[in-house]
Amino acid sequence: SPEKAPKELWRVDPLEMKVEPGLGNVPKNYTYAHGSPHTKIFPVNPLTGKSQMLHRKTVNPLNHWYGLAPLEIAAISGDLLNSGLEWNFSLLRNGGRPSGALTCDGNVAEEGMNKLKQLRNALMAGARNAGSIPILTNGLKWTPFSQSAKDMDFSNTLSAADKYIAMVFGVPLPLISTESSTYNNVALAQEKLYEDTVIPLFTDYLNDLNMWLVPMFGEGIKICMDLDSVPALESKRQKLFDRHKAAVDSGILTRDEAREAMGYEPMGG
């Protein structure tokens, strides 16, 4: 009834939640801040599955109770991206590539080895010293390493990680990569982002609210989206308007049929 309608909605951290399994694939209860002194338990009706807690999750055949977060799918690519950036930074800090080695005849004492390392860091390491020519004395020799293209070719791997993460979250590539971006395909990508990702996810979210939350406020109420307020869909709205206007002008549709098809109330008469 409307008297039992909640006054506030709170989003809780999924990491702080624990699902207590029940019978018939229905949770027994939800436990918030499990193991802390401020633990709060939200019971679940075993017959209807209703609770004060709304648990939204994706399908996971291996874990029915918690689902499968998209971030878990993209986690390896995220780790690869972070590791690749650290790799490139380390190469840049050391001259862009392992450029060579200092060699000398005989053994070098620990003190002498430390001095050589200091000399190397001061004169040869870092982006400012990349490609510099060392001047050596006292029998030291410079042995250059063979250059390998793969030493600094981690950018291709990073680009693949970017694309995979974007694919997991349903973001079109022109919105994350300037290589394949033009004014026209960015506009189309923004429209595709809403049509293929944002609107389906939001529709699923509103369906859950309409089943769980809205009945607490009474009957005949529904939460809907106002897609007319989305700038990225303006081109689609204009095409829809032109198509129905042409159908009315040619006599295929009446004004009210066209208005109803576009989501407006009929005028009548």
Give one DSSP letter per residue of 93-156, joined into a string. HTTSS--EEEE-SS---HHHHHHHHHHHHHHT-SGGGTTPPP---TT-EEEEPPP-GGGSTHHH
CA distance 63 to 54: 18
pLDDT digit of tens for each residue in the chain (269 aa)?
445 788 999 998 888 899 999 988 899 999 998 667 788 999 999 988 889 999 999 888 888 899 998 888 899 888 888 887 777 776 666 655 555 666 777 676 777 777 777 766 665 555 455 455 566 666 667 666 655 555 556 667 777 888 889 999 999 988 887 776 677 788 889 999 999 999 999 999 999 999 999 998 988 999 999 888 888 888 888 888 999 999 999 999 999 999 888 888 888 86
pTM of the complete model: 0.66
Distance, in Å, from the CA atom of 131 to the CA atom of 111, rounded to the nearest integer, reads 27
- 19: exposed, middle or buried (C-beta count within 10 Å: 0-12, 13-18, 19+)? buried
Q: Is 162:176 a contact under the CB 8 Å cutoff?
A: yes
Q: Are strands 100-103 and 29-32 parallel, antiparallel or unpaired?
A: unpaired
pLDDT value at position 15? 87
In this structure, what token pair is assigned to residue 246?
A: 């042409």
For residue 158, the model assigns a pLDDT of 77
| CB distance 16 to 33 below 8 Å | yes
**Selection from 230, 234, 252, 256 nearest residue 243 by Cα:** 252
Residue 194: strand pairing partners: none
Contact 200, 169 (CB under 8 A): no
CA 156/CA 71 separation, integer angstroms: 22
Q: What sign for the dihedral angle of Cα 45, 50, 54, 56?
A: positive
CA–CA separation, 53 and 43 (whole Å) = 9
